[in-house]
Structure formats: structure tokens, C-alpha cells
DNA sequence: CCGACAACCTGTGAGC
DNA sequence: TGCTCACAGGTTGTCG
């Protein structure tokens, strides 16, 4: 479920509900995530105050203070993770691996069937943590533009879609939005990155921003009741132009949309509109 | 430095 | 109904 727009939607939804709250600790039922959950998580969180929530790529960051020390709880939802704000007494289901316990009796519950997600602790603002230190720039920041895309794609022979999905180049563009942005920009996902002109880089950077922004807006429309049910934000109901639509007709030109594999992942595109 | 590939896990749907 | 297979929204680590 987690693409950048969902993590951002999650952050915005949790912000007013968690800011200023104090943690009582953590209850870890199964710490075997991508990396083992810190064994001392319960003690490390007890008494810490949540100062704010931030996002880097698809990482959700909880900024904590306790006494004079600042730390960050880094949460990634992997392929199948979700976070739910529940009453701590609510019975956990099969893949509810851990609860972050709030002093007021609520819990932020992590569910992750595939366990590709992670929960880590870092000192300070977390910038030095290995997971964040070498992360690429934010796609919605002004720094991500045609000039940047053009610069990093020179002498790069790999397909442009793979470059877009490389988190060390730009953080948080997943499979869905790489496909959708390339369609919006009219660019063939197989094109070697270095072959993109400056002008097409401008177009692609713009397409990335508008595609992500629109998805966040759609997610925002469901923020009101996102604490309920499975918390799936509204962007998931958004119509994709190409993703998951192989064999169907392109909305722009009517040709059959294709699905190919790139690095083992599905790429959806229109052979007519994307050159 | 670059790029290809395996690895970590479980669930679901299609086809037989 | 039950088996097997392909595939799924992510990222790191290793190797050539």
C-alpha cells in the first residue's frame, strides 16, 4: 500500500493526533521485520514526547524528545505495511507486529504481512542514519527539476524508469508513480536515461510533481475518517492512466496498453503515446 | 562508479 | 476443493 502519497497522507492525518503526545513505550509482538526491531524499544520510547512528524521519501519520521535528548523513530511500511491508531486494548490481528503505546491509552499499531517494513531509532534528527544519509532529494522539493534530472541522467545507460525509481537519485517514487509520470510526460520507460533531452527532463520532472501532488490531494480527501477501518487513503481509488491496465485501451490514443518487465517489476505504458 | 541480480516475506488470484 | 505458479505498492547488499 505504501507509495509516497500514502505516507504523506498518513503523516498529515497523524500530525494533529500525535503532536505533543507522550509515549508510554512499545509492545513488540514480533520484531522480525526487515531489520530486527530494537530490543530496547519499549524502554527507549517510555516518557518520550512526540515533537513532530516528518517524511523522507517513504520513511515516516517521529521526532522525539526526552529530557535533553532528541531522537527519531524511523518507520517504513515496506510493500504491505500500514499504521493504525487504535485503542491499545483492541485485539491485534495476524500481522499486527507492534504497538507504539501512547500515555493516554491509544496505540499506533504497525501491521505488515510481508515484513519488508522497518522500525529503527536514530539520534538527533536522524540525518546521519544509514537509511537516510544517502537518500536522494525529495521529488516535491524545488531542487528536483529538469536541470537536476538532466544532470543525473548523463552517461546513465539504464532505462529512465529505473533511474526514476532509484531512491539514491530521487526519494520515494515507486512503481505506480514511475509508470504514471512517464505516461504523463509521454516518455518510453525503456529509453536509456542519457538519451533524454533537457526539455524532456523538464517535462518529466513536472509530470512527477503533478502526479504525486494529485495523488496526495486525493488521499487528503479521505483524511477525515482515516483512523477507521484499514485507513486506506483515497488515492487508492484514483484511476490510474496506465498502471495495472495492460490490454486495455489508452485513454488518450486508444491503443492497447502494454505490460513489460523491467528488473523483475511490471512496467505499464502506451506504445503510442510514449516515445 | 555503474548496473544486474538475489534476497528478505506472505497473500492472492488464475489456471488446471 | 486443492494444488502450483506468477505476481504484488520496496530497498539493501553483493558481485562482476
Confidence at residue A145, expressed as pLDDT on a 0 to 100 scale: 97
Residue A3 designated active-site: yes
- By C-alpha distance, which of A273, A22, A194 is closest to A258? A273
SS3 helix, strand, coil % of chain A, rounded to 5?
Answer: 30, 25, 45
Q: Establish whether the CB of A158 is closer than 7 Å to any nucleic acid atom in strand C.
A: no
Q: Establish whether the CB of A275 is closer than 7 Å to any nucleic acid atom in strand B.
A: no
Residue A194 designated active-site: no
Confidence at residue A209, expressed as pLDDT on a 0 to 100 scale: 97
Confidence at residue A222, expressed as pLDDT on a 0 to 100 scale: 55
Residue A100, C-beta contacts closer than 8 angstroms, at least 6 positions apart: A23, A26, A45, A73, A107, A108, A109, A110
Q: Establish whether the CB of A114 is closer than 7 Å to any nucleic acid atom in strand C.
A: yes
- Which residues of chain A are modeled with pLDDT < 50? 223-230
Burial of A48 (0-12, 13-18, 19+ CB in 10 A): buried
Q: From residues 28-87 of A, list those within 7 angstroms of strand C by Cβ.
A: 34, 57-59, 76, 78-79
Query: Quick one: cell of A205?
Result: 520532472
Task: Determine which helix (DSSP H) or strand (DSSP E) holds A42, and give its type and residue range.
Answer: helix A41-45
Q: Establish whether the CB of A261 is closer than 7 Å to any nucleic acid atom in strand B.
A: no
CA–C1' nearest nucleotide, residue A78: C10
Confidence at residue A229, expressed as pLDDT on a 0 to 100 scale: 39
Query: Quick one: cell of A265?
Result: 517489476
pTM to 2 decimals? 0.95
Protein footprint on strand B: which nucleotides are under 7 Å from a CB?
A: 2-6, 8-11
Active-site option among A56, A58, A106, A245: A58
Amino acid at each position: 500500500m505504501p507509495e509516497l502519497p500514502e505516507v504523506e497522507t498518513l503523516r498529515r492525518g497523524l500530525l494533529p493526533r500525535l503532536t505533543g503526545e507522550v509515549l508510554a513505550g512499545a509492545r513488540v509482538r514480533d520484531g522480525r521485520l526487515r531489520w530486527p526491531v530494537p530490543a530496547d524499544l519499549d524502554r527507549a520510547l517510555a516518557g518520550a514526547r512526540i515533537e513532530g512528524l516528518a517524511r523522507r521519501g517513504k520513511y515516516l519520521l517521529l521526532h522525539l524528545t526526552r529530557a535533553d535528548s532528541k531522537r527519531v523513530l524511523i518507520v517504513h511500511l515496506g510493500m504491505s505495511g500500514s499504521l493504525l491508531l487504535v485503542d491499545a486494548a483492541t485485539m491485534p490481528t495476524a500481522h499486527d507486529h507492534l504497538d507504539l503505546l501512547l500515555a493516554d491509552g491509544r496505540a499506533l499499531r504497525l501491521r505488515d504481512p510481508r515484513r519488508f517494513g522497518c522500525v529503527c531509532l536514530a539520534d538527533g534528527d536522524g540525518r546521519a542514519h544509514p537509511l537516510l544519509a544517502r537518500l536522494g532529494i525529495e521529488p516535491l522539493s524545488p531542487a528536483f527539476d529538469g536541470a537536476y534530472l538532466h544532470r543525473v541522467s548523463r552517461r546513465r545507460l539504464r532505462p529512465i524508469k529505473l533511474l526514476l525509481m532509484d531512491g539514491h537519485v530521487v526519494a520515494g517514487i515507486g512503481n505506480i508513480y514511475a509508470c504514471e509520470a512517464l505516461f504523463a510526460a509521454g516518455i518510453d520507460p525503456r529509453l536509456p536515461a542519457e538519451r533524454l533531452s533537457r526539455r524532456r527532463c523538464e517535462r518529466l520532472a513536472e509530470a512527477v510533481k503533478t502526479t504525486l501532488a494529485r495523488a496526495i490531494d486525493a488521499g487528503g480527501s479521505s483524511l477525515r475518517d482515516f483512523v477507521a477501518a484499514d485507513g486506506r487513503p483515497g488515492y487508492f481509488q484514483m484511476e490510474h492512466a496506465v498502471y495495472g491496465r495492460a490490454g486495455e485501451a489508452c485513454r488518450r490514443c486508444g491503443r492497447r496498453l502494454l505490460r513489460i518487465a523491467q528488473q523483475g517489476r511490471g512496467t505499464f505504458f502506451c506504445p503510442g503515446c510514449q516515445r
